[in-house]
Copies of this chain bind each other. A is one copy, B any other.
Amino acid sequence: MVQAPSRRDRLRAATTQEIIQTARRLLVTEGPEAASLRAIAREMGMTAPALYRYFGSHEDLLRHVVGDIFTDLAGYVDAAIHAAADAAPPGTDPDEVWAVKLIAAARAFRAWTLAHVPEFSLIFGSPLPGLEALHEVAVDPTIDCGYKFGRLFLDLFSELYRCRPFPIPADDQIDPSLRDQLARYRNLIGSKLPLGALQTFLRCWVLLYGTVSLEVFGHLQFALDDPAPMFELMLSDLAPLVGLESPARSR
Task: Find chain B residues with CB under 8 A from A229 CB.
Answer: 175, 177-178, 181
- How many copies altogether? 2
Asked whether any CB of chain B lies closer than 8 Å to the CB of A211, the reply is yes
Considering the complex, give the chain B residue whose CB is closest to the CB of A123: B219
B175 touches A202 (CB 8 A): no
A199 to B209, CA, bound (A): 19
A158 at the interface (CB under 8 A from B): no
Q: In the complex, which residues of chain B have a beta carbon less than 8 angstroms from the beta carbon of A185?
A: 223-224
Instruction: For the complex, give the distance between the alpha carbons of A101 and B135 in Å.
Output: 35
Complex Cα gap A101–B33 (Å): 42
Stretch at the interface among A50-58, A60-68, A103-111, A231-239: A231-239
Within 8 A of B (CB), among A171-215: 175, 177-178, 181-182, 185, 198-199, 202-203, 205-207, 209-211, 213-214
Q: How far is the CA of A230 from the CA of B205 in the complex (A)?
A: 11
